[in-house]
Amino acid sequence: MAKSPLEVKPRAGDVTVSRSYPLEKIRNIAIIAHIDAGKTTVTERILYYTGRTYKLGEVHEGTAVMDWMEQEKARGITITAAATTCYWREQRINIIDTPGHIDFTAEVERCLRVLDGGVVVFDAVSGVEAQSEAVWRQADRYQVPRICFINKMDRVGADFQWSVSMIKKRLGANPIPIQLPLGSETEYYGLVDLVEKRAWRFSDEADAPREEIPIPEDARTACAEYRQSLVEKAAEFDDDILLTYLDGKEPGAEDLKRVIRSATIANKVVPVLCGSALRNKGVHTLLDAVVDYLPSPLDVPPVKAVDAKKDTEVILPPSDEAPFAALAFKVVTDPFVGRLVYLRIYSGKIKAGAEVYNASRGKRERIGRLLLMHANHREDITDADTGAIVASLGLKNTFTGDTLSTQAQPLLLESIKFPDPVVSIAVEPKSRTDQDRIGEALQKLTEEDPTFKVSYNKETGQTIISGMGELHLDVIVSRLVSEFGVQANIGNPRVAYKETVTAKVEAEGRFVQQTGGHGQYGHVWIELEPGEKGSGFEFVNRIRGATIPRNFIPSVSQGIKEAMETGTVAGYPVIDIKATLFDGSYHEVDSSEMSFKMAGILAFKAGMAKARPILLEPIMKLSVIAPQEFMGDVIGDLNSRRGRIELIETQGEICSIHCQIPLSESFGYATSLRSLTQGRATHSMQFYQYQELPPALAKDVQTAGKTHA
């Protein structure tokens, strides 16, 4: 029986972020996947095998360390991203376990923005699911190198080769299996490492060491074929491997690792591993792969920043000696210590008690305490350096996406963009005491979650909260009760409709007022037309000469943007328009920024009325996985909800239905699906785009919008 490679298990109290761990020995990674693929179980096993915990946490028992919120324990899902630090083969691994439900996509977005690598977990039975695709696209956007872990290989219906083919087909990736499973379904017992040509047997017992065994006879042919394919792919990226291959020789394991690592970091390939985290199989080799193939802060391109004083680009090398720059990527209200701000330090270092400068808001801040987080457990540290992911107390005016640097050299890092909320409900406090508390509670929740918005409707006197889905808002409401002690009545979910224009028009805005003393004079002509889908608002200045002074032009843009918050069809926000300012006039005495802002508002409202405005509704991408015997009923129900079927895939007795469905038709779908399929189907949903609402339905929405918007 062979021993595992060096597996460092420091005591939990020994954690430090001192430079005793050089940058090349640090890994900042996210665990990302579709809901129920097993992310949190993988993370719990990693913590156990690295000595970070001494007892296995189980999601289904509500004992998972990383799912520490009461709502997470009750629902058995991850809701908020949780950070921790562990050690393996003398490497420090900072891990963030992310949610898999689309309603909490902001958690994935902000984590991928600040991390260097990712482990994408797939269910060996379901393969690439809807949210798997969503998180993959998010990782693509931030160019995050990643490895794949095909989990749940012990389940009936598990298919490693099919899962790999789906990664290639559905995600457009270049997967290269570096492991092959031994046994299948309930007989799954181990794997073959194709790089090192070694086979490992794992026990169901968590504390039993992995055992090296000879490659089984019945697996040798497949292993030889897959290894040859692995070598051929490696040869595409390295001349030395190519020459060795052409000479008919076998490249060494270290050479293969070097090439696979460089190709992975360059996002040219994605290594694929397998295992069963719940049965304690394959976690050791997954940790080895994190160390061997995912990048350190030194391996990723240096981060770019903007010098706020000089408005010039600055390249920040990952070095303790470089100017200090850190990105705030998460804000949490901790009931015991207060407001926690999570930071990724890209360059330089910081000490507890130091003064920093929030370049995003132009404010000085003081780092009260620095904390190393292990889910909701905190550990005080004295300093943090480049590559560290830490939390800080004392930052009162720092929010998600802000950059912390020094006042001597204020730097701005690229912020984080989040999707707009699509579902709204009204909340009313039940008592006068709740009335006093609800405002503060909602403010803290909006600071934590950039996809959660709060507004007040003057016409109805209601407080409206908006989020990414029914589950998102359900969790918010339950947190109001459990964390802030606020009891509230909840209204029915409302859809966040939008408005836009479909014709190109010219419109005049004239704001003239004469009172005692100086009057007000602003006069503009604008051209209003449809913009590109997803463009939001585009303003073009086509003023030539001195028709309108330059200092008044931003006020026109500001006025149009303000007017866009309330459309003319049903009072919903206006999106995807282009406004061009091409003419106007001014008065030398009476013109002001305010008068031109009002002229912009009037011009927009006049143009909007003429430009054939329409209502837009949010469309969701829905994926349903159900037994084939229920396929007809599921499709019939989707058709009745204005669903548009895009693709139907079958795998054995299971079918996957992919469609587009209006958000307004999706409320209560989970209950309906359970009823139709005897509880045997699962589904996931994510926002896709806004599309025109059919005229037959627009009148009802128009009436409701004018009443409630």
pLDDT tens for 673-704 read 878 887 777 777 778 889 999 988 888 777 76
pLDDT at 354: 93
Q: Please give the residue that has the higher pLDDT: either 472 or 335.
A: 472
Please name the amino acid found at residue 569: V
Which helix (H) or strand (E) segment holds residue 563: the answer is helix 553-563
Residues 177 and 529: their CA atoms lie apart, in Å, by 51
Whether residue 527 is predicted with pLDDT greater than 60 in this model: the reply is yes
Give the mean pLDDT of 171-196.
Answer: 94
Contact 573, 497 (CB under 8 A): no
Contact 119, 27 (CB under 8 A): no
Give the mean pLDDT of 334-344.
Answer: 85
pLDDT at 490: 85
Q: Are strands 498-500 and 520-530 parallel, antiparallel or unpaired?
A: unpaired
Q: If 0-12 CB within 10 Å is exposed, 13-18 middle and 19+ buried, where does residue 100 land?
A: buried
Per-residue pLDDT tens digits for 459-475: 556 788 888 777 888 88
Residues 143 and 121: their CA atoms lie apart, in Å, by 18
Crossing angle of helices 220-235 and 253-265, rounded to 10°: 60
Torsion angle, alpha carbons of 190, 192, 198, 204, to 10: -10
Give the mean pLDDT of 187-216.
Answer: 92
Which helix (H) or strand (E) segment holds residue 609: the answer is helix 593-610
Q: Nearest Cα to 596, choosing from 562, 558, 568, 539?
A: 558
Cβ contacts of residue 525 below 8 Å, gap of 6+? Answer: 506, 507, 508, 509, 581, 582, 583, 584, 603
Residues 266 and 701: their CA atoms lie apart, in Å, by 49
User: How far is C-alpha 529 from the geometric centre of its chain's CA atoms?
Assistant: 32
Instruction: Give every strand in the sheet of 505-513, ordered side by side.
Output: 505-513, 520-530, 577-585, 537-541
Whether residue 4 is predicted with pLDDT greater than 50 in this model: the reply is no
Give the mean pLDDT of 587-611.
Answer: 92
Residue in the block written with tokens 């028709």: 547
Whether residue 57 is predicted with pLDDT greater than 80 in this model: the reply is no
Highest mean pLDDT among 127-131, 252-256, 332-336: 252-256
Residues 620 and 58: their CA atoms lie apart, in Å, by 32
Residue in the block written with tokens 């780092």: 367
Token readout for 668 is 């209560």
pLDDT at 436: 79
Per-residue pLDDT tens digits for 412-427: 999 888 877 777 788 8
| Average pLDDT of the chain to the nearest whole number | 86
What stretches of 378-502 show up as alpha helix (H) in DSSP?
432-448, 470-482
pLDDT at 94: 92
Contact 153, 283 (CB under 8 A): no
Residues 80 and 92: their CA atoms lie apart, in Å, by 23
Burial per residue of 116-136, b for 16 or more beta-carbon CB atoms within 10 angstroms, e otherwise: bbbbbbbbbbbbbbbbbbbbb
Highest mean pLDDT among 125-134, 316-325, 506-515: 316-325
Instruction: Give every strand in the sheet of 190-193, ordered side by side.
Output: 179-182, 190-193, 198-201, 211-213
Whether residue 361 is predicted with pLDDT greater than 90 in this model: the reply is yes
Residues 129 and 134: their CA atoms lie apart, in Å, by 9
Q: Are strands 462-467 and 423-429 parallel, antiparallel or unpaired?
A: antiparallel
Per-residue pLDDT tens digits for 372-398: 888 778 888 999 999 999 999 989 999
Give the mean pLDDT of 189-207.
Answer: 92
Q: How many helices (H) and strands (E) does the chain have?
A: 16, 38
Q: Nearest Cα to 426, choosing from 482, 512, 490?
A: 490
Residues 486 and 478: their CA atoms lie apart, in Å, by 9
- Could you give the 3-state DSSP secondary structure of residue 532? coil
pLDDT at 11: 35
Question: If pLDDT is split at 50, 70 and 90, which confidence band does 77 have?
Answer: low
Kindly report the length of the chain: 709
For the question of whether the overall pTM of this predicted structure is more than 0.85, the answer is no
φ/ψ of 255, rounded to 5, equals -65, -40
CB atoms within 10 A of CB 661: 20
Give the mean pLDDT of 656-669.
Answer: 88
Question: If pLDDT is split at 50, 70 and 90, which confidence band does 517 have?
Answer: low
- Sign of the four-CA dihedral 347, 351, 352, 355: negative
Token readout for 615 is 């209502």
Q: What is the 3-state secondary structure (H, E, C) of 614-626?
A: EEEEEEEEEEEEE
Kindly list the distances between the CA atom of residue 492 and the CA atoms of 441, 464, 665, 671, 699, in Å, as whole numbers in the listed order: 21, 11, 13, 16, 20
Burial per residue of 24-44, b for 16 or more beta-carbon CB atoms within 10 angstroms, e otherwise: ebbbbbbbbbbbbbbbbbbbb
Whether residue 115 is predicted with pLDDT greater than 80 in this model: the reply is yes
Token readout for 87 is 């050690």
Contact 105, 89 (CB under 8 A): no
Contact 411, 355 (CB under 8 A): no
Kindly list the distances between the CA atom of residue 425 and the CA atoms of 233, 555, 572, 636, 638, in Å, as whole numbers in the listed order: 52, 33, 15, 29, 24
φ/ψ of 600, rounded to 5, equals -60, -40
Give the mean pLDDT of 337-352.
Answer: 91
Cβ contacts of residue 627 below 8 Å, gap of 6+? Answer: 653, 654, 655, 677, 680, 681
pLDDT at 100: 65
Strand boundaries in 532-589, DSSP class E: 537-541, 577-585
pLDDT at 553: 92
pLDDT at 12: 37
